[in-house]
A and B are shown apart, each in its own frame.
Chain A
Amino acid sequence: MSAVAVSAMQHGLQSCEVCGLLSRPGPGEEEGRCPRCAGELVFRKPASLQRTWAFLLAAAISYVPANILPVLTTTTATGSESDTILQGVVLLWSPTGWPLSLIVLVASIMIPSAKILALGYLLVTVQRGSIRNNGQRIRLYRSVDLIGRWSMVDVFVDAFTAALVQLQPLMSVAPGPGLLFFAAVVVFTMLAVESFDPRLIWDPASEEEAHDG
């Protein structure tokens, strides 16, 4: 039985994530520089799992105040009223406004929680050395990467609503304390996606293939 290496790492080669050049580090070296673009090269992102877990936990913790604290406070002549994200969705729900309400519901509540769950699932399966559903897991990672930015929508909605509705003393809108935590969820999950090395999903499969080949 001869071992056939399938991944670049098994061949001792590093691939530049910037320019795509494949190169070999000096003997015994773990890190090097790309001879073409001078980018730093590693076999796998350093401490990928620890960093991803850290950002994911930070996001999960911020998720609680993001949903409990108000994101918008409306002040009128008769008094003031504060709304959380979910209350904002309910307020938008009307015979004509329901599509927008749905957009905010998906972007602000469903996407962030789905992102946190999906990244947690990817981390756990990688740590267990799973070789099953690799194709589905990499597609999950790519969709999290692609869709994640859209949860910023609510930050922009609240920013521009507050910027425009400044008709004191008649009516004014101010951002609430929840907005900071909501923005934190978006940023932390984006950083978690960035820290995760998708090649870790495939490493156990590469090893298996090398032994069978």
Chain B
Amino acid sequence: MYNTPVADAALRACPDCDLLQRLPDLEPGASARCPRCDLELWRRRDASRQLTLPLTLAAAVLYVVANTFPMLGLTAVGRSASTTVLGGAEQLWHDGREIVAGLVLLTAVVAPALQIGFMLVIGLAVRRERVPIWVGPLLRHHPTTRTWSMIEVMMLGVLVALTKIAELATVIPGVAMYALGALVFLLAGVQASFDPRDFWDRIGWAEAADRRAAASGRLAEATR
């Protein structure tokens, strides 16, 4: 059953301490913090709608490059080898560490793809005057994809591995490595320019859509 919304749209509860408070109307770039626990409740982003989409598009291109080109190459005593991002998960699987392989696949490949994909669809959908209702579930699950997308952690891991192996063999950083490095900064930029409140304010309400669907269902029944 749907809840009844409060009449005052500026009324908010802090997600970290549940303190009831009224959000002030902010100038672009300004932010509001909870007076009790100091959590940043809202930062009004400057040009959020204009920036988010191009940054996400660039991130999508880099993601494809990062996953198609070799990431690390190695030469030692006349022999050479190279690996891609997927190769890291693949080798774990071959060595019988299927669960860890799945985790690497999730955090390095699947979650980042979902994160970028969701953001791309959200960014395209909000260019319309009225934000379509199906954007809701994407916005809802976007934080989860962010939690499990660990490109920046993988980047540090790759740098450590590279330095470790460099003592035994000649290591050549591949194209994917540079793409990943740039991707880390682009994803941070997407996050910094994204203002979810701006999207929620313009989205169609789930309850109203349900009512409309129910009403048209009754209408169809009546005319049959």
A contact residues vs B (CB 8 Å cutoff): 5-9, 11, 13-15, 17-26, 29, 32-39, 41, 92, 97, 100, 103-104, 107, 134-135, 138, 141-142, 149-150, 152-167, 170-171, 174-175, 179-180, 183, 187, 190, 194, 198-199, 201-203, 206
Closest-CB distance, B74 to chain A (whole angstroms): 5
Contact: B91 with A23, CB < 8 Å? no
Contact: A179 with B163, CB < 8 Å? no
Closest-CB distance, B192 to chain A (whole angstroms): 15
Binds A, one of B14-22, B48-56, B57-65: B14-22
A-B contact count (CB 8 A): 233
Within 8 Å of chain A (Cβ to Cβ): is B193?
no
Collect the chain A residues with CB atoms within 8 Å of residue B143's CB: 18
Contact: B100 with A179, CB < 8 Å? yes
Interface size in chain B (residues, C-beta < 8 A): 70
Q: Check A37/B136 contact, CB under 8 A, given A155-B104, A160-B83, A174-B95.
A: yes
Collect the chain A residues with CB atoms within 8 Å of residue B87's CB: 163
Collect the chain B residues with CB atoms within 8 Å of residue A21's CB: 5, 200
Contact: B157 with A152, CB < 8 Å? yes
Contact: A24 with B3, CB < 8 Å? yes
Q: How far is the CA of A6 from the CA of B103 in the complex (A)?
A: 42
Q: How far is the CA of A133 from the CA of B165 in the complex (A)?
A: 46
Binds A, one of B116-124, B148-156, B182-190, B213-221: B148-156
Contact: A150 with B15, CB < 8 Å? no
Within 8 Å of chain A (Cβ to Cβ): is B223?
no
Collect the chain B residues with CB atoms within 8 Å of residue A203's CB: 18
Query: Can you spell out 29 A-B residue pairs with CB atoms less than 8 angstroms apart?
Result: A6-B19, A15-B13, A15-B15, A22-B6, A22-B20, A24-B4, A26-B4, A34-B3, A35-B206, A37-B139, A138-B17, A142-B16, A149-B147, A152-B150, A154-B157, A155-B103, A157-B160, A157-B161, A160-B88, A162-B88, A162-B91, A163-B83, A163-B90, A170-B76, A170-B79, A175-B100, A183-B99, A202-B19, A202-B37
Within 8 Å of chain A (Cβ to Cβ): is B82?
yes
> 1/0 contact trace for B141-180 toward A, CB 8 Å?
0010001001001101111110111011101000000000
Q: Check A7/B19 contact, CB under 8 A, given A152-B107, A180-B97.
A: yes
Contact: A164 with B82, CB < 8 Å? yes
Contact of A20 among B17, B74, B81, B200 (CB under 8 A): B200
Q: Check A18/B206 contact, CB under 8 A, given A149-B150, A157-B164, A160-B157.
A: no
Contact: A202 with B13, CB < 8 Å? no
Most buried by B among A17, A138, A157, A163: A163
Within 8 Å of chain A (Cβ to Cβ): is B89?
yes
Q: How far is the CA of A68 from the CA of B39 in the complex (A)?
A: 39
Contact of B3 among A41, A142, A165, A175 (CB under 8 A): A41
Q: Check A138/B88 contact, CB under 8 A, given A15-B15, A29-B1.
A: no
Within 8 Å of chain A (Cβ to Cβ): is B33?
no
Contact: B161 with A8, CB < 8 Å? no
Contact: B37 with A135, CB < 8 Å? yes
Q: Check A155/B13 contact, CB under 8 A, given A13-B6, A103-B156.
A: no
Most buried by B among A92, A134, A158, A201: A158
Within 8 Å of chain A (Cβ to Cβ): is B72?
yes
Contact: B36 with A25, CB < 8 Å? no
Q: How far is the CA of A38 from the CA of B209 in the complex (A)?
A: 10
Collect the chain A residues with CB atoms within 8 Å of residue B38's CB: 135, 138
